[in-house]
Amino acid sequence: MNKKFNVSTPSGFPEFCPKREKVRQQWIKVISETYASHGFQPIYTPLVERDENLVGKGGNPKEIYALRRLQATDEDKSHSGNALRFDHTVPLALYVARHLNDISFPFRRQAIGPVFRGERAQKGRYRQFDQCDIDVIGSENLSFFHDAEMVAIITKIFTKLNIGEFVIRINNRKILTGFFADLGISADKIKPVLDIVDDLEKLPPAKIMENFAEQGLTNDQTNKILEFTNVTGEPTEILNYLKGINGGEDFTTGVQELETVLTGIKALKVPAQNFIVDLKIARGLDYYTGTVYETKLVGHESLGSICSGGRYNDLAKIFTKKNLPGVGISIGLTRLLGQLFDAGIIQADTASPSHILVVPQDEKLVPNAIELSQQIRDILGLSVETYLDKKKFVKKLDYADKLGIPFVAIIGEREIENNSFVLKNMTTGEQNTHSIENIESIMGELIVF
């Protein structure tokens, strides 16, 4: 070492050790397979896009990472530049714009992978993080039954992941904005008022009242909004309450859309405890125009929403003339896993994918150990590691223990003579000699997947 290198990860860029990475990959498998079970096709879009497209679709230039070669080339100097994607939605919009004529709509696509945002680094905030998205994109129109399917998919995923009780909260932006308009709130105040509603659970009541007043709302308007957004009840009760209000066109459309969503959710047999209609839900993002969702873990509401999404009018307006309505959801995987590990809600157990470590008693027997390992792999389809290096016997067992490998198969001179091996259960400490001929039945009994 001539120079002292700082080997730590750059701030905000996470690293997962094998134990946690194993969990991350298991989660991705569950999420991806559930998405696929509803017909969502994966596409592969680059991590890098033209910077003007990212900014054009609303990316914040202060948070977008631009690329430039460390030692700039002529190309870098002449060319407007590329940058890292900050979500999966802009790449989807670009993909759809490129392939408009080949795509069969409705287009159901899944995207799981890293996105990058140069936010201020702080605990629980990452600059590189995995998002797991699905979206359905329609050509010119898209049934609100798709919005119902999202609720069933979220339910299936978190049920399979077994992280405890959760509730998906559903609303429709048009119901809120229509209600505001019907109260006489002017068009330019609708969005600021929506943002105040979005903060209802985050800010103290006094601050909320102050914010409403700042927008020039009367006490009567403020009280009506608070009363409306606090309505509780079974989904059908809330739907009936909404149908009883004599609202304007926007409001009425929103209620009809919500009705379709609830009809779909019923047909999908989503358990009643997993969803509610919550008229407080607004979601911050500008582009939602209909259904909005968020998902809270019961008893861990402070974690924030673990899966959010909604309906938008137009995916790719700036890139194509075609009207492309869509609905989508997103799981912020890296952040969620980080939070669940920190809160002790999930644990990472073992590092190694191996079921068995085959250990030769001395170095001469390594080829025999290799042969036995390959036999176990081929016959039983198990993951097997062979201890190949020269080490004290106890160190070899220690290795299996540290990596959480559940079984060790030991062979010495005597075992080779008798065509046998000693199988040690690393959890119980029990060990027995078995004939290699019976390997299939022995392993089959012991190792449960």
Binding residues for its own copies restricted to 123-162, rule: CB under 8 A: 127-128, 138, 141-143, 145-146, 148-149, 152
Using CB under 8 A as the binding rule, the residues of this chain from 388 to 407 that contact its own copies are: 388-390, 398-399, 402-403, 405
Using CB under 8 A as the binding rule, the residues of this chain from 216 to 275 that contact its own copies are: 263-264, 266-269
Segment near its own copies (CB under 8 A); pick from 157-165, 179-187, 353-361, 410-418: 353-361
Residue from 64, 150, 151, 397 touching its own copies (CB under 8 A): that is: 64
Peptide bond preceding 325: is omega within 30 degrees of 0, i.e. cis?
no
Closest distance between its own copies and the C-beta of residue 55, in Å?
7
- Of 282 and 316, nearer to its own copies (C-beta) is 316
Residue from 27, 30, 31, 84 touching its own copies (CB under 8 A): that is: 84
Q: Do residues 316 and 329 touch, judged by C-beta distance below 8 A?
A: no
Residue from 367, 432, 440, 441 touching its own copies (CB under 8 A): that is: 367
Q: Crossing angle of helices 145-161/18-37, nearest 10°?
A: 150
- Of 172 and 354, nearer to its own copies (C-beta) is 354
Residue from 92, 94, 132, 336 touching its own copies (CB under 8 A): that is: 94
Q: Do residues 235 and 279 touch, judged by C-beta distance below 8 A?
A: no
Residue 199 and residue 260: Cα distance in Å, rounded?
Answer: 27
Residue 387 and residue 402: Cα distance in Å, rounded?
Answer: 14
Using CB under 8 A as the binding rule, the residues of this chain from 429 to 448 that contact its own copies are: none
Residue 142 and residue 441: Cα distance in Å, rounded?
Answer: 54
The mark string for 16-55 relative to its own copies (x by CB under 8 A, - otherwise) is xxx-xxx-xx----------xxxxxxxxxxxxxxxxxx-x
Using CB under 8 A as the binding rule, the residues of this chain from 168 to 207 that contact its own copies are: none
Closest distance between its own copies and the C-beta of residue 155, in Å?
11
Distances (CA, A) of 201 to 166, 229, 306, 312: 17, 11, 16, 24
Burial readout 302-328 (b: 16 or more C-beta within 10 A, e: otherwise): ebbbbbbbbbbebbbeebbeeebbbbb
Q: Cα 39–308–213 angle (5° rounding)?
A: 150
Residue from 30, 89, 92, 95 touching its own copies (CB under 8 A): that is: 95
Q: Do residues 348 and 22 touch, judged by C-beta distance below 8 A?
A: yes
- Of 63 and 214, nearer to its own copies (C-beta) is 63
Using CB under 8 A as the binding rule, the residues of this chain from 289 to 318 that contact its own copies are: 317-318
Residue 449 and residue 446: Cα distance in Å, rounded?
Answer: 10
Using CB under 8 A as the binding rule, whether residue 341 contacts its own copies is answered as: no
Segment near its own copies (CB under 8 A); pick from 56-64, 167-175, 178-186, 249-257: 56-64
**CA-wise closest residue to 128 among 334, 325, 347, 301:** 334
**CA-wise closest residue to 28 among 166, 169, 133:** 133
Closest distance between its own copies and the C-beta of residue 447, in Å?
14
Q: Do residues 239 and 259 touch, judged by C-beta distance below 8 A?
A: yes
- Of 262 and 279, nearer to its own copies (C-beta) is 262
- Of 63 and 249, nearer to its own copies (C-beta) is 63
Q: Where are the beta strands (DSSP E) in 188-287?
A: 275-277
Residue from 27, 30, 108, 331 touching its own copies (CB under 8 A): that is: 108
What are the DSSP calls for 335-402, one per residue?
Answer: HHHHHHHHTTSS----S---SEEEEESSGGGHHHHHHHHHHHHHHH---EEE--S---HHHHHHHHHH
Closest distance between its own copies and the C-beta of residue 64, in Å?
4
Segment near its own copies (CB under 8 A); pick from 96-104, 174-182, 237-245, 408-416: 96-104
Give, as one character, the DSSP assignment of residue 301.
Answer: G
- Of 36 and 226, nearer to its own copies (C-beta) is 36
Segment near its own copies (CB under 8 A); pick from 80-88, 186-194, 340-348, 411-419: 80-88
Helix (H) or strand (E) holding 114: strand 107-116
Using CB under 8 A as the binding rule, whether residue 99 contacts its own copies is answered as: yes
Closest distance between its own copies and the C-beta of residue 31, in Å?
13
Using CB under 8 A as the binding rule, whether residue 14 contacts its own copies is answered as: yes
Residue from 77, 123, 202, 321 touching its own copies (CB under 8 A): that is: 321
Residue from 195, 259, 314, 371 touching its own copies (CB under 8 A): that is: 371
Residue from 211, 221, 289, 352 touching its own copies (CB under 8 A): that is: 352
Residue 142 and residue 59: Cα distance in Å, rounded?
Answer: 26
Q: For tokens 């938008």, what's the residue?
A: 312
